[in-house]
């Protein structure tokens, strides 16, 4: 039976989410990890969206998350160039602190060159981290999503940018979306107890509401 079961222990959401097909994700904080990445300078960005390990396996690959991102308004960075140092995350899977797998940016309707506009005028973007160590191998993708200022402002995060970025991505993703020959159906579940609300430890001192959104992405057509 394919089901998703979350057991709440006090105020801590345990992420075992057991089904016959595996787990949605493991809570990084239960095994020495963090729900904040390491942005340098002592602060971190919240891992505020999780692509469930119960999603279609093809979605959870590097190519798969890129194609899904393109279906919901994001794409690879402008001309493949990355500005700034990569950030790292410890997902409690035994791999320790690992650099982001990729960073994807809002594409303004053009997945080839649209992210160049995002580089100039700002917009939504997210970093991807994969939970695949031997201690917690869910295959889930943890995303640090945020809305950022334009190039002139150094791409700093806008006020309330972590909540805003998360909510924009989720709004674009939920329901049926498609890109080229692949169609996706995505459902969302709001989770509390993984991230602490407020600004303690958060990069730029920007407070968050403490909500993490779990997305389960299913490929319903690939023709």
The domain ranges of the chain are 27-222
Are 158 and 164 spatial neighbours (Cβ–Cβ below 8 Å)?
Answer: yes
With 70 as the cut, is the pLDDT of residue 84 above it?
no
Query: Pairing between strand 102-106 and 175-179?
Result: unpaired
Query: Pairing between strand 49-51 and 212-222?
Result: parallel
Q: What radius of gyration do the chain's Cα atoms show?
A: 16
With 90 as the cut, is the pLDDT of residue 185 above it?
yes
Q: So what's the pLDDT on residue 156?
A: 83
Comparing 17 with 186, the larger pLDDT belongs to: 186
Q: So what's the pLDDT on residue 53?
A: 98
Least confident of 51-65, 78-92, 114-128, 166-180: 78-92
Beta strands (DSSP E) in 24-173 are 49-51, 74-75, 88-90, 97-99, 102-106, 123-130, 141-148
Q: So what's the pLDDT on residue 82?
A: 55
What's the pLDDT tens digit per position in 90-144? 999 999 999 999 999 999 998 888 888 887 888 999 999 999 999 999 999 999 9
> What does the block give as tokens for 43?
């602060």
Are 171 and 177 spatial neighbours (Cβ–Cβ below 8 Å)?
Answer: no
Comparing 81 with 130, the larger pLDDT belongs to: 130
What's the pLDDT tens digit per position in 127-138? 999 999 999 999
- Tell me the pTM: 0.88
């Amino acid at each position: 039976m394919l089901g998703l079961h979350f057991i709440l222990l006090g105020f801590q959401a345990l992420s075992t989410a057991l089904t016959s097909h595996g787990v949605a994700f493991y809570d990084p904080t239960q095994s020495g990890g963090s729900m904040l990445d390491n942005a340098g300078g002592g602060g971190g960005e919240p891992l505020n969206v999780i692509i469930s390990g119960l999603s279609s396996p093809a979605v959870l690959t590097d190519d798969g998350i890129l194609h899904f991102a393109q279906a919901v308004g994001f794409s690879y960075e402008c001309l493949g160039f990355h500005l700034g140092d990569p950030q790292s995350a410890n997902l409690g899977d035994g791999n320790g602190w690992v650099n982001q797998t990729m960073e994807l940016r809002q594409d303004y309707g053009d997945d080839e060159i649209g992210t160049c506009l995002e580089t100039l005028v700002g917009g939504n973007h997210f970093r991807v981290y994969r939970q695949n160590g031997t201690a917690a191998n869910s295959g889930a993708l943890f995303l640090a999503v945020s809305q950022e200022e334009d190039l002139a402002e150094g791409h700093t995060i806008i006020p309330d940018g972590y909540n805003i970025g998360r909510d924009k991505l989720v709004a674009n993703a939920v329901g049926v979306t498609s890109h080229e020959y692949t169609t996706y159906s995505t459902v969302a579940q709001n989770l509390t107890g993984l991230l602490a609300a407020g600004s303690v430890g958060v990069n730029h001192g920007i407070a968050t509401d403490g909500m993490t959104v779990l997305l389960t992405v299913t490929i319903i057509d690939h023709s």
